[in-house]
Structure 1
């Protein structure tokens, strides 16, 4: 699964000053142990991208709510490795 978080400059600055952003990121990383985590800007927003294994769909609430509380836009998208893609192509029978 890929989690993308986007936070505007004003809300982001407030969340950083209060420590809330660091707390939300730290809690997510500790609980879900992403295999990759990247931080960047996207369309002028502070952004985080995380690749991790989400065991069940109901966890989307647990994952997203702390970021929503900060004013983040949150996107969860299934993603796959090259091996997963290859297996998917093979499964199509084409």
Structure 2
């Protein structure tokens, strides 16, 4: 199941990792461990942020994705199921529309 992980990172302890020069290693370790399909870094309401696309074969993997962000950065993580256009085509929307008129 493909998921979008929206991460909001507080200024601390992120700033401390930047100051001591270890932020690159910390982020590399998290990304190598979680293996997202894509990772984007952005601003979110004045905070640092990241948006990851991950493909989970088992929901029990959610903690393994979230805990590094929680433990290293005290970050907030939101998980949303997402689909590609081809996935949406297979959803049977026409049949659902007919059933729930």
Question: Does the TM-score normalized on the shorter chain lie above 0.5?
Answer: yes
Gaps of 5+ in 1: none
Gaps of 5+ in 2: none
**Among 27, 31, 39, which residue is 2:33 paired with?**
31
1:6-54: per-residue Cα shift (whole Å, max 9, x none)? 112233212333525742x323322343222111001111001011211
Residue aligned with 2:57, SS:
coil
Alignment of 1:7 onto 2:9: yes
**When the two structures are aligned, how many residues end up with a matched partner?**
92
Q: TM-score, normalised by structure 2?
A: 0.76
Q: Which runs of 4+ in 1 moved over 6 A?
A: none
> Residue 54 of structure 1 corresponds to which residue in structure 2?
56
Task: Tell me how large the CA RMSD over aligned residues is.
Answer: 2.0
Q: Which has the larger radius of gyration?
A: 2
